[in-house]
Chains A and B, each alone.
Chain A
Amino acid sequence: MSASLKNAVKRKTHKERAQPTARRKFGLLEKKKDYLLRAKDFHKKEDAIRVLRGKAEARNPDEFYFAMEKARTKDGVHVVSTSEPNRYSQEELRLMKTQDVGYLTLKAQAEAKKVERLRSSLHMIGMAKPRHTVFVDGEEEAAAFDPAAYFDTHPDLVGRAFNRPRTEQLANPPPVAEGDTLAGVAARSERRRATAYKELLQRQARGEKLSALAARMAYAKEVAGKGRKRKLTPAEAGGQKGVFKWKAERKR
């Protein structure tokens, strides 16, 4: 076969090996070039530590620089004082904070929307124990109260608040499950439901955190903004710290 013909024939494309599914949690599969980068970086740091250790060992205790007079430590750690001025102006900082608050609010709202959508078909059936009060005439009746008789159901079903079928319903054609009730199908839908509930809980928690953070940041922004205010003492603010009260001012 001539070389030109060989080139014309499609050759097998070799794909890079991917991370196996079982090891997905470790991220992308590391290749040789990735390893080299990591190894070089590690050895660079190792060398730097070795050099510093050597310098510390060979240190002259009598060594003195005038800069040492100004040097300070905080909790035993040397603090390098920088004379660099604030990079952003007060205005710019306020604008950046506004944008942060806006972004967090947006994300919190998106999360709330998703929670609402999930909740519309996940009704937490039988997950809570609401308080049920039954009003009867007089003490004797209260003493003789029989929940199963009152609800007209089987005694075993009294605790099943979300649906207590009546005796008549239990006697007549049993609560026929419409549709398919194959065990495999039931187990699969059970699993999908559990996943959906898990997602709901996670989204709820995340949404609450986001909106709480957004509120806190918005408050901090207000405190940093204009208007005469004073800080309330914890006693005045009902035990809470960092509560401010603004002076009423006529707005035009």
Chain B
Amino acid sequence: MAGGAKVVVEPHRHAGVFIARGKEDALVTKNMVPGESVYGEKRISVEVEAGEKTEYRVWNPFRSKLAAAVLAGVDNIHIRPGARVLYLGAASGTSVSHVSDIVGPEGARIVGLNSQYFLKNGGNFVISIKASCIDSTAPPEAVFAREVKKLQEQQLKPKEQVTLEPYERDHAVVVGVYRASKKKDA
């Protein structure tokens, strides 16, 4: 997609993420491999200075919970250039490809194992909760509260929580930090 001069790109609060406003109104990440789409998503190229072009890939919040959380205004996603990321539950790799755009090459590792083994004290986590998958009869707010309690029991301390309207119905993303119990610390 040729964006040309008609797109305005605004850097986002989270490093490596941008908002493109032109004909489109989209969340984007800078493409690590210009000219390549990973899953058929749109690409927007913007002329920075004469002749020099930067290419961005559209990050669809209707498909990625992480993108939806970013637009919902989460304070910290703990994913930034150079970070080491363990992405659990990767399916077709759409979100993962954007995470890779943000952190750069060799940063994203996909391991299907329990995060408890991989997070060190003070390590951060981002989890997406779908209320209807856990309990479709209870109101979503109650389900989120219950899940947050469960996290606390597993020494995962929640910092914040955002709901994902209008991208997903009855979804919430919880961001927090993992710490061993205080007894062990002492």
Contacts and interface: CB of A to CB of B under 8 A. Distances in A.
Interface in A107-125: 119-125
Interface string A4-30: 000000000000000000000000000
B25 A125 contact: yes
B27 interface: yes
A150 B73 CA distance: 12
Given A127-B166, A130-B73, A132-B160, 11 more contacts: A122-B25, A132-B72, A134-B160, A134-B161, A150-B75, A162-B19, A164-B73, A178-B46, A178-B54, A193-B22, A193-B23
Interface string B55-98: 00010111000000001111100000000000000000000000
Please list the 8 inter-chain residue pairs (A to B) with the smallest Cβ-Cβ separation, ordered nearest first.
A161-B73, A180-B5, A121-B24, A130-B72, A133-B161, A128-B166, A192-B23, A177-B8
Interface of B: 3-13, 19, 21-27, 41-42, 46-48, 54, 58, 60-62, 71-75, 148, 157-166, 176
A112 B48 CA distance: 36
Contacts, number: 130
A180 B10 contact: no
A177 B25 contact: no
Interface stretch (A183-191, A206-214, A219-227, A232-240): A183-191
Interface of A: 119-125, 127-135, 150-151, 153, 160-166, 169, 175-181, 185-186, 188-189, 192-193, 196-197
Contact of A131 (B42, B75, B162): B162
Contact of A180 (B6, B161, B163, B176): B6
